[in-house]
């Protein structure tokens, strides 16, 4: 049987979930989304994800369509079992009467959510390449308009790498679908929030866990030249957690394997997930 998904107030089999070709998400990429990992049946950092959704919506001149409680009730119905899964939710500006760039008034948004299993990320590490960032100037908005990200990720895949690290004006920003953290002289460094990167929920959690472990952290601009000096490079995201980059542009990073600080944060991150699973079991 098709899995059940949520579309505009209804739960229905995936194959029956249909939207109009006049949906502005389809015509203009006019919408935003979230991806929320779920462990032991419990969404990780749900409030933070919903606040980021609000922020994305506000930035594209939309109101929050549902309360946190209403979203939560939808997710509870989509989550099945206690295996690791992730919720995908998307809000578009809805169906207009004709194709026109101007934002239509009085149109109900299209709301969609589904929950799919997530596989454990590859622990051995990944290869990455640096590429020139070709995206727009509002990368803080989690917009569904992901053509540049798609092309950049594919550019990496074509060379046998798993992720593209995006460079703009000689500065290291983030991955095609992840944030970046580097270890420089024992300090964990990551670019500051702003219009050039997505404010990653995993990024914030890793910074918090690092601080709790007594690891010094710094949020500051990273020059491209510093990537070559980093003893460790990690990419963070909700579904792939903390991924060590072991080879960058064909050269080994550090010792060419997952580094010692990664092991510290990886174990703190796994413990955090386990706590969530146990709190879910406790009710």
- Which residue out of 18, 42, 98, 142 is catalytically annotated? 142
133 makes contact with ligand PMP (CB under 6 A): no
174 makes contact with ligand PMP (CB under 6 A): yes
Q: Which of 200, 244, 254, 259 binds ligand PMP (CB under 6 A)?
A: 200
Give a three-class secondary structure readout of the chain.
Answer: CCCEEEECCEEEEHHHCCCCCCEHHHHHCCEEEEEEEEECCEECCHHHHHHHHHHHHHHCCCCCCCCHHHHHHHHHHHCCCCCCEEEEEEEECCECCCCCCCCCCCCCCEEEEEEEECCCCCCCCEEEEEEECCCCCCCCCCECCCHHHHHHHHHHHHCCCCEEEEEECCEEEEECCCEEEEEECCEEEECCCCCCCCCCHHHHHHHHHHHHCCCCEEECCEEHHHHCCCCEEEEEECCCEEEEEEEECCEECCCCCCCHHHHHHHHHHHHHHHHHHHHHHCC
In the bound complex, what is the minimum distance in angstroms from residue 178's beta carbon to ligand PMP?
Answer: 5
Q: Which of 166, 173, 175, 177 is nearest to 143 (CA)?
A: 177
Q: Which of 237, 244, 262, 268 binds ligand PMP (CB under 6 A)?
A: 237
In the bound complex, what is the minimum distance in angstroms from residue 203's beta carbon to ligand PMP?
Answer: 6
In the bound complex, what is the minimum distance in angstroms from residue 106's beta carbon to ligand PMP?
Answer: 31
In the bound complex, what is the minimum distance in angstroms from residue 69's beta carbon to ligand PMP?
Answer: 22
Q: Which of 236, 248, 266, 269 binds ligand PMP (CB under 6 A)?
A: 236
Distance (Å, whole) CA 24 – CA 28: 5
- Identify which of residues 85 and 237 has a Cβ nearer to ligand PMP in the complex: 237
- Is 18 catalytic? The answer is no
198 makes contact with ligand PMP (CB under 6 A): yes
163 makes contact with ligand PMP (CB under 6 A): no
Helix axes 201-212, 46-59, angle to 10 degrees: 140
Residues numbered 45 to 104 that lie near ligand PMP (CB under 6 A) are none
Distance (Å, whole) CA 199 – CA 141: 9
- Identify which of residues 32 and 215 has a Cβ nearer to ligand PMP in the complex: 32
Distance (Å, whole) CA 96 – CA 283: 43
Contact window for ligand PMP (CB under 6 A) among 77-85, 90-98, 120-128, 198-206 = 198-206
In the bound complex, what is the minimum distance in angstroms from residue 202's beta carbon to ligand PMP?
Answer: 3
In the bound complex, what is the minimum distance in angstroms from residue 260's beta carbon to ligand PMP?
Answer: 23
Q: Which of 46, 189, 201, 222 binds ligand PMP (CB under 6 A)?
A: 201
Q: Which of 84, 89, 81 is nearest to 7 (CA)?
A: 89
- Identify which of residues 179 and 266 has a Cβ nearer to ligand PMP in the complex: 179
179 makes contact with ligand PMP (CB under 6 A): yes
**Contact flags string 28-47 toward ligand PMP, x per CB under 6 A:** -------x------------
161 makes contact with ligand PMP (CB under 6 A): no
User: Interface with ligand PMP by CB under 6 A: which residues?
Assistant: 35, 174, 177-179, 198, 200-203, 236-238
> Which amino acids are annotated catalytic?
142
């Amino acid at each position: 049987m098709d899995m059940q998904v949520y579309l505009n107030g209804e739960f229905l089999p995936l194959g029956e979930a249909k939207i109009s070709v006049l949906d502005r998400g389809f015509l203009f990429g006019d919408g935003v989304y979230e991806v929320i990992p779920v462990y032991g049946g419990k969404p990780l950092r749900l409030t933070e994800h919903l606040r980021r959704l609000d922020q994305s919506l506000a930035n594209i001149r939309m109101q929050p369509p549902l309360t946190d409680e209403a979203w939560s009730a939808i997710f509870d119905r989509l989550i099945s079992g206690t295996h690791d899964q992730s919720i995908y939710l998307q809000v578009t500006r809805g169906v207009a009467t004709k194709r026109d760039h101007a934002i239509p008034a009085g149109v109900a948004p299209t709301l969609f959510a589904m929950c799919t299993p997530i596989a454990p990320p590859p622990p051995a590490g990944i290869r990455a390449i640096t590429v020139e960032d070709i995206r727009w100037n509002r990368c803080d908005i989690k917009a569904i308009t992901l053509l540049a990200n798609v092309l950049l990720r594919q550019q990496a895949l074509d060379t046998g790498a798993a992720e593209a690290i995006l460079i703009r004006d000689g500065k290291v920003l983030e991955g095609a679908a992840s944030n970046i953290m580097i270890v420089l002289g024992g300090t964990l460094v990551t670019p500051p929030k702003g219009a050039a990167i997505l404010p990653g929920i995993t990024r914030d959690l890793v910074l918090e866990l690092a601080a709790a472990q007594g690891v010094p952290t710094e949020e500051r601009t990273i020059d491209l030249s510093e990537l070559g000096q980093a003893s460790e490079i990690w990419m963070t995201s909700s579904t792939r957690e903390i991924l060590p980059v072991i080879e960058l542009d064909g050269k080994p990073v550090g010792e060419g394997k997952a580094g010692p600080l990664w092991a510290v944060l990886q174990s703190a991150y796994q413990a955090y997930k386990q706590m969530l699973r146990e709190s879910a079991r406790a009710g």
